[in-house]
């Protein structure tokens, strides 16, 4: 990462209720999966849409422009959290995550658009298939984990209204995420453009 590049990523935030739900899941897992897990602090919980890596400030502003253009006409949508899993798998877990039971296709669509926008400023395209997940914890050493379910009907639906560009400051005390820009999702609305709808 060169010069004054900012380590950054694009994400969707959770609603306060969904955040509280995720924190409850972590509290339960703390008891069930006792050792060697760094649990994500509440303020860091988010759905990553695109990891950017180091981006210089002038490219950040170009990214915001490119991403806003890609998001044009995309309306807010509902997401519900549910289902637990581990990457790469439960026998050798590195990451423990909460899945989504609703809104996965829309999140994947957002991720694709943001991947394309990031490519415009020279960020490498994502080669792995996008798998929506909320990272709850990371294991220092891969280990087997037994995860009891979080049934999907429990998932509190919340609305994704914006994409947030975060800077990620890493330190020995853990990551600190600082919002740099908020890109709203908005339905293309005839009233806004003052055009009569085409019938
Ligand atoms: P730490 O690296 O100290 O564990 P972190 O992973 O939370 O902290 P970052 O590494 O800056 O912080 O990552 C920021 C976000 O981007 C996290 O959601 C992380 O899971 C995600 N991320 C990081 N690297 C990649 C990558 N190569 N591909 C996809 N997502 C990534
Ligand atoms: Mg990391």
In a domain, 68, yes or no: yes
- CA-nearest residue for atom 25, ligand 1, is 51
d(CA 194, CA 81): 38
Convert the pLDDT of each residue in 152-162 to its tens digit.
Answer: 766 679 999 99
Residue 72 has pLDDT above 70, yes or no: yes
Confidence of residue 35 (pLDDT cuts 50, 70, 90): confident
In a domain, 161, yes or no: yes
d(CA 152, CA 184): 27
In a domain, 184, yes or no: yes
Q: Report helix, strand or coil for 15.
A: coil
Residue 15 has pLDDT above 70, yes or no: yes
The region that residue 74 occupies, defined by phi over 0 for left and psi between -120 and 50 for alpha, beta otherwise, is beta
184: domain CATH number? 3.90.1140.10
Ligand nearest to the CA of 7: 1
Question: Residue 190's pLDDT is what?
Answer: 43
In a domain, 131, yes or no: yes
> What share of the chain in percent tops pLDDT 90?
82
55 DSSP β-pair partners: 6
Nearest residue to 186 via CA among 74, 25, 107: 74
Which atom of ligand 1 lies closest to the CA of 95?
20
Phi first, then psi, for residue 117 (nearest 5°) are -65, -40
Measured in Å, residue 166 CA sits from the centre of ligand 2 at 13
Measured in Å, residue 170 CA sits from the centre of ligand 2 at 9
Number of independent structural domains in the chain: 1
Beta-strand ranges (E) seen in 112-193 are: 134-143, 158-160, 162-169, 176-184
Helices (H), the chain: 16-32, 57-71, 104-120, 190-193
DSSP letters of 90-127? TTSEEEEEEEEEESHHHHHHHHHHHHHHHHHTTPPPP-
Residues ≥6 apart with Cβ < 8 Å to 184: 71, 161, 162
Instruction: For residue 95, give its domain range.
Output: 6-195
- CA-nearest residue for atom 11, ligand 1, is 168
Instruction: Indicate the pTM of the whole model.
Output: 0.90
- CA-nearest residue for atom 16, ligand 1, is 51
In a domain, 54, yes or no: yes
In a domain, 1, yes or no: no
Q: Report helix, strand or coil for 9.
A: strand
- CA-nearest residue for atom 6, ligand 1, is 175
Give the residue, out of 168, 173, 176, 180, with the most ligand 1 atoms within 8 A of its beta carbon, to mutate for a pocket test.
168
Q: How far apart are the first and last CA of the chain?
A: 52
d(CA 45, CA 60): 23
Ligand nearest to the CA of 169: 1
Question: Residue 3's pLDDT is what?
Answer: 62
Measured in Å, residue 17 CA sits from the centre of ligand 1 at 24
In a domain, 86, yes or no: yes
In a domain, 160, yes or no: yes
Nearest residue to 109 via CA among 176, 49, 65, 22: 49
């Amino acid at each position: 990462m060169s010069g004054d590049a900012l380590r950054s990523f694009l994400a969707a935030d959770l609603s306060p209720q969904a955040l509280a739900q995720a924190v409850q899941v972590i509290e339960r897992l703390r008891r069930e999966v006792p050792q060697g897990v760094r649990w994500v602090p509440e303020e860091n919980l988010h759905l990553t849409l695109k990891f950017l890596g180091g981006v210089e400030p002038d490219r950040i502003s170009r990214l915001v422009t490119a991403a806003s253009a890609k998001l044009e006409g995309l309306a807010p949508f509902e997401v519900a959290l549910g289902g637990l899993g581990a990457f790469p798998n439960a026998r050798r877990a590195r990451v423990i995550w909460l899945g989504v039971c609703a809104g996965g296709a829309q999140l994947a669509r957002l991720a694709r658009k943001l991947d394309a926008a990031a490519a415009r400023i020279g960020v490498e395209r994502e080669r792995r298939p996008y798998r929506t997940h909320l990272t709850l914890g990371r294991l220092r050493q891969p280990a087997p984990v037994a995860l009891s379910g979080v049934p999907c009907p429990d998932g509190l639906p919340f609305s994704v209204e914006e994409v947030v560009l975060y800077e990620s400051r890493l330190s020995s005390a853990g990551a600190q995420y600082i919002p740099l820009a908020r890109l709203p999702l908005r339905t293309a609305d005839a009233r806004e453009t003052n055009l009569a709808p085409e019938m």
